[in-house]
Amino acid sequence: MQQLLDILSGLHPEVDFETTEDLIDDGILDSLDIVSIVSSVYSEFDVTIPPEEIIPENFNSAVALMELITRLDEE
Amino acid sequence: MSFTSYTFIAFLGVMLLAYFLTYGKRQWITLLVGSYIFYAFAGLDCLAFILITTLSSYLVSRLLGRAIGRERAFLEANKETLDKAQRKEYKARSKKKRFRILLCGLFFNFGILAVLKYSAFAVRNVNSIIGLFGGKGFDVPSLLLPLGISFYTFQTMGYLIDVYRGKVAPERNIAKLALFVSFFPQLVQGPISLYSELAPSLYEPHKFDLKKFSFGMQRVIWGYFKKLVIADRVLIAMNTMLDAPEQYGGAYVLLLIVLYSVQIYADFTGGIDITIGIAESMGIKLAENFDRPFSSRSTKEYWRRWHITMGRWFREYIFVPIATVKPMLKLNNFCKNRIGVKAASKVVAYTASIVTWFVTGIWHGAAWNFIVWGLLNCLIIMVSESLEPLYKKFHARFPKLAGNRFYGGFCATRTFLLMGLIRSLDCYRNVATTFRMWGSMLTFRGIGEILGGGILRLGLDLTDIVIILCGIAVMYAVSKISAKTDVRESLYERPVLSAILTCALLICVIMIGNYGIGYDASQFIYDQF
Amino acid sequence: MKKRIIILVCSALIVILLLGLLQALVVPKYTDNTEGLLIGEYYGETGENDVIMVGDCEVYESFVPAVLYEKYGITSYIRGSAQQLVWQSYYLLEETFRYETPKAVVFNVYALKYGEPQDEAYNRMTLDGMKWSGAKYDAIKASMTEGENMLDYAMPLLRFHSRITELNSDDFKYMFNDKKVSHSGYLMKKGVVPMREEAESGRALLDYTLPETAMEYLDKMRQLCEENDAELILVKAPTNTWGFWWYDEWDAQVSEYAENNGLAYYNFIKCRDEIGIDFATDTYDEGMHLNVYGAEKLTEYFGNILVSDHGLGDATHSQDVLDRWQANIDAYYKERNS
């Protein structure tokens, strides 16, 4: 989780990713950020997020994103 | 059968009646038969193409479904014996296999589209290159372009990709799939529906529901109002200007841009209103395609609110896959260490954007003007994204501005004009002419002429202009109100008022709609025989 | 729910009513170009007409029923309109036979030159005046030009809706009652614009055969008259100008047809002198049509033929009809001498 938070803070140091839950809906993360996150997740977790998982629900909070990564890794 | 033909209205009447009379489990068959009759009006050869797409997609989706089923069964059966790495390896391998099946389906169907829609364009371009070297070139093929092929192909390919991704289960009944491909209200101009959102409501039975039916019909009439009263009237003035573009430079270009914005808005949203309204009256819900697009404050926002289902298609099936494909992820990570995180994502996202917008452009039509139009949209979005830090600084200095109504209006107007400007490419249908006309705008020539009566020499008289202005005012008011509340829902509580408004709108369509031969008194003057 | 259904039904009725009124308002009233009213005026004078004349402007500008009655006691009505095509004449005749049984039908042959639908506006001027019947339906079907639609005839509102923005006082004045313009189908023109010079021929044609469709309808007209015991008489008005030439080749074909079928055919071009037509005084448009003075001369001449060669003029009529015709004569002279 810390690893993921580091990736996110790297993009937006001013945001508290542990508590914010509307990252997409509030427009904090834009498409550039998503592209960046997906590639970082790939390099750091060795998990490829498939296009169909790139939906707001999975990116709205760090927790949701972590859940996605774990699920994709476990499956 | 165009929406504005008597034949269509008659067809619709029969169709609705037949639909409700056949209420029951097999009601969807009525829709299928109706859709094929509708499509047969466009020509029997067109019917062959839609059948080929249906058949091939059915086949491919079933194969995909079987492959997914086998994968799941295998993983389930060997849950205990396989370790994580083996599982992953198996999954990657079978996904590759699945991908090959999908590719067959995509190549075949996009191939048909490409050959029919783009071969003439391609040959012409090849010829002009050959021409540079003095060659003769090939004959330009003239092929039949089946009605709505861009729309139904994209919708159906979206379905295939969704099956491949495991998002939806493949349809077992080919007739049901045929209906999804050919559902008549959306065949000609969309919206491009997702299988997951349309299919359930398409197949399930719908009893006649007075509320849904009247809501649907209200929306249909509203659509006809926008199309016949406003769009087709504005078109007259546009055509005058487009018949001799060189004569209408300067301020006329600006006028054209504004008129075309009004025209395409009224025409396209009107057409979609008719489509959604028809479906709604039968109890079928279609995705919205517009969300008050002209109030967008930026190009990016505009594209989330204009032709929404198309934007969604390109985003989900082109932009995202390209931006997140493995080589792109690697490229991103490679760049991150060298040019920084932000810049690295830009490299990836911009590449994907350019491809997406190129395809979007060419999807609109096989001509350079559409490609240039797509790429200009892309350019604007990329530039404004690059300037984002600057905007942020600016707004940090003037924090009150963002909430200011006038500033909002300014941004919306700017976006409206910018989008209108590049949209004029598909008015002139020629890149060089368009650029010349844009250049002529800088001369400001013609303002006096337009205001001094030039506007009345474009084929519209004063009454027409008053009607257009009133029409725009009505559209604006409806759009404003519907931002806050559902207009029809709130009218539903006041049935008499609702009936009066609907009847008035209908009578307006019939009386001041621009349809039919048109009355020219001079024709009726008896001259000689 | 019940309330909503009532509202729905009521609004449907109100819409229909309103559209009906609007239709009455926007259909052309033809107060200037009065040719559009000719066909509709017939329904006020049906019954006991000895002769029915059908054809294009060459009938309704050439024969004067009031004079025919005054001089020869022959009652007649002209069912002609601008550029009335052969099949339109045929279907008008079919309709007329449902109202009455004339002894003779006069058909002016000039329209035989057209074998295809010509002009939407003229179609409307001829067909809109007809009352609805199978004949009207068939006439429309045979006459529609490209882009026309039966529905536009069934609901003229759809055709003329755009006139809503250009209404004038006549549209309100004649909303429910048309202006009366003809004298039993004769449209009076009193002007005199002499013919400048006599034409010697018309424009050369590639093919001088009269169109097959036109001749077929002529034949149908003959059969229709036979079935109804009416004698079909073919005529050609005495006018003949460069733009509207009656070619000898056409004349020969009509003559042959008439002979083969035992019909009388009078080509009045050939007997202008006998009739006494003088194109210095008897035309209102340089010889293309006769004016009232020319038409009266022709009517007297033709009336004589009808009496002597076709045994007309001895019918007995009811008092109503006699009164009507007296009124017709009065009205005719009132306008002629005003």
Within 13 A of B257's CA, how many CA atoms are on the CB side? 23
Residue B527 near residue C57, CB atoms below 8 Å: no
Per domain, the residue ranges of chain B are: 6-208, 226-471
The Cα–Cα gap between B338 and B521 comes to 75
pTM of the model: 0.90
- Give the model's pLDDT for residue C85: 96
Over 70: is that where the pLDDT of C63 sits?
Answer: yes
Residue in the structure block whose two tokens are 């993983």: B75
Parallel/antiparallel/unpaired status of strands C51-55 and C264-267: unpaired
3-state DSSP call for residue B390?
Answer: helix
Let me know the angle formed at the C-alpha of C120 by C119 and C126, rounded to the nearest 5 degrees: 95
Q: What is the mean pLDDT of residues B221-229?
A: 96
**Is residue B331 packed enough to be buried (19+ CB in 10 Å), middle (13-18) or exposed (0-12)?**
middle
Q: What is the residue type of B266? A: A
Q: Three-class SS of residue C58?
A: helix
Q: Exposed, middle or buried, C305 (CB in 10 Å: 0-12/13-18/19+)?
A: middle
- C-alpha radius of gyration, chain C, whole number: 21
Residue B524: per-residue pLDDT: 63
Q: What is the mean pLDDT of residues C40-52?
A: 93
Pairing verdict, β C104-108 and C76-80: unpaired
In A, minimum Cα distance to B72 occurs at A75
φ, ψ at B25 (rounded to 5°): -60, -30
Cβ pair A43:B333 closer than 8 A: yes
B368 band by pLDDT with thresholds 50, 70 and 90: very high
On the question of pLDDT at B215 being above 90, the answer is: yes
B403 or B225, greater pLDDT: B225
Task: Kindly state the average pLDDT of the residues C13-23.
Answer: 96
Is the CB of residue A55 less than 8 Å away from at least one CB of chain B?
no
How far apart, in whole angstroms, are the C-alpha atoms of residue C174 and residue C178? 5
CB contact under 8 A, B320 and A51: yes
**Beta-ladder partners of C107:** C54, C234
Beta carbons of A52 and B344 less than 8 Å apart: no
Q: Which residues pair with C106 in a beta bridge?
A: C53, C233
pLDDT in tens, B15-28: 999 999 999 999 99
Q: How far apart are CA B419 and CA B380, in angstroms?
A: 10
Chains sharing 3 or more CB pairs under 8 A with chain A: B
Q: Could you say which of A11, A54, A74 has the minimum Cβ distance to residue B320?
A: A54
**How far, in Å, are B191, B402, B413 from residue B283 at the CA level?**
17, 41, 37
Looking at this protein, which amino acid is placed at residue B376? Answer: L
Give the chains touching B; criterion: ≥3 Cβ pairs < 8 Å. A, C
- Quick one: pLDDT at residue C28? 92
Distance CA B15, CA B6 (A): 14
Confidence of residue C174 (pLDDT cuts 50, 70, 90): very high
CA distance B61 to chain A (A): 17
Alpha-carbon span C60 to C53, nearest angstrom: 9
The DSSP-derived string for B383-418 is: HHHHTHHHHHHHHHHSTTGGG-HHHHHHHHHHHHHH
Distances (CA, A) of C229 to B473, C45, C102, C212, C317: 66, 21, 8, 26, 19
Instruction: List, edge to edge, every strand of the sheet that includes C51-55.
Output: C76-80, C51-55, C104-108, C231-236, C264-267
Query: What is the rounded CA–CA span in Å between residue B357 and residue B230?
Result: 30
Q: Would you state the torsion angle of the CA atoms of residues C30, C35, C37, C39, taken in this order, to the nearest 10 degrees?
A: -160
* Residues of chain B positioned with their CB less than 8 A from the CB of C80: none
Q: How many CB pairs under 8 A join B and C?
A: 91
Shortest alpha-carbon distance between residue B356 and chain A (Å) = 14
CA–CA min distance C230, chain B (Å): 28
Mean of the per-residue pLDDT values of chain B: 91
Cis-peptide, bond into residue B191, ω within 30° of zero: yes
Q: Are B329 and A42 within 8 A, CB to CB? A: yes
Which region among B126-140, B270-284, B301-315, C299-313 has the lowest average model confidence (pLDDT)? B126-140
What pLDDT digit, counting tens, does each position of B99-118 carry?
A: 999 999 999 999 999 999 88
The domains located in chain C, with CATH, are 32-150+181-336 (3.40.50.1110)
Question: Residue B200: helix, strand or coil by DSSP?
Answer: helix
- Of C216 and A25, more confident: C216
In this structure, are strands C264-267 and C76-80 parallel, antiparallel, or unpaired?
Answer: unpaired
pLDDT for B417-444, tens place per residue?
999 999 999 889 889 999 999 999 888 7
Task: Report the distance separating Cα B264 and Cα A70, nearest Å.
Answer: 47
CATH code, domain with A64:
1.10.1200.10
pLDDT value of residue B523: 65
Residues C67-106 have pLDDT tens digits of 999 999 999 999 999 999 999 999 999 999 999 999 999 9
Q: What is the pLDDT of residues B172-208, one digit of tens each?
A: 999 999 999 999 999 888 899 999 999 999 999 999 9
Mean pLDDT of B223-248: 92
In eight-state DSSP terms, residue B248 is S
Cβ contact, residue pair B495, C7, below 8 Å: yes
- Residue B68 has a CB neighbour count (10 Å cut-off) of 19
- The number of domains in chain A is 1
**pLDDT for residue B134:** 79
Residue B396: pLDDT over 90: no
CB contact under 8 A, C57 and B529: yes
Which residues of A fall within a CB distance of 8 Å from B76?
Answer: none
CB neighbours of residue A40 within 10 Å: 24
Using CA atoms, how far residue B521 sits from B518, B525, C36, C312, in Å, is: 10, 7, 12, 42
> Which residue in C1, C22, C124 is closest to B511 by CB distance?
C22
Residues B53, B48: Cα–Cα separation, whole Å:
9
Nearest CA in chain A to B318: A51
**What are the tokens at B428?**
């002139």
- Pairing state between β C264-267 and C231-236: parallel
Quick check: B525 pLDDT over 70?
no
Task: Identify the H or E element spanning B52.
Answer: helix B44-77
Query: What is the rounded average pLDDT of the residues C217-235?
Result: 96
Q: Which pLDDT value is given to residue B521?
A: 65
pLDDT of residue B388: 83
Q: What is the 3-state secondary structure (H, E, C) of B141-156?
A: CCCCCCCCHHHHHHHH
Closest C-alpha among C182, C203, C197 to residue C82? C182
**B452 pLDDT band (50/70/90 cuts)?**
confident
Three-state DSSP class for C108?
strand
With a CB cutoff of 8 Å and minimum separation 6, the contacts of B88 are none
Q: Cβ separation of A10 and B345 shorter than 8 Å?
A: no
Q: What is the pLDDT of residues B43-83, one digit of tens each?
A: 888 899 999 999 999 999 999 999 999 999 998 888 888 88
Q: Is the dihedral of CA C126, C132, C133, C134 positive or negative?
A: positive
Class of residue C277 by CB neighbours under 10 A (exposed 0-12, middle 13-18, buried 19+): buried
Q: What is the pLDDT of residue C289?
A: 93
- Round to whole Å and give the CA distance between B290 and C206: 59
Domain coverage including residue A58 = 2-74
Q: How far does the CA of residue A24 sit from the closest CA of chain B (Å)?
A: 14
pLDDT for position B529: 47
C7 pLDDT higher than 50: yes
C-alpha C192/C-alpha C287 separation (Å) is 10
Q: What pLDDT shows up at residue C91?
A: 97
Q: What is the pLDDT along chain A (75 residues), one digit of tens a residue?
A: 888 888 888 888 888 888 888 888 887 888 888 888 898 898 888 888 998 898 888 998 889 999 999 988 876
Tell me the CA end-to-end span of chain B in Å, nearest whole number: 36
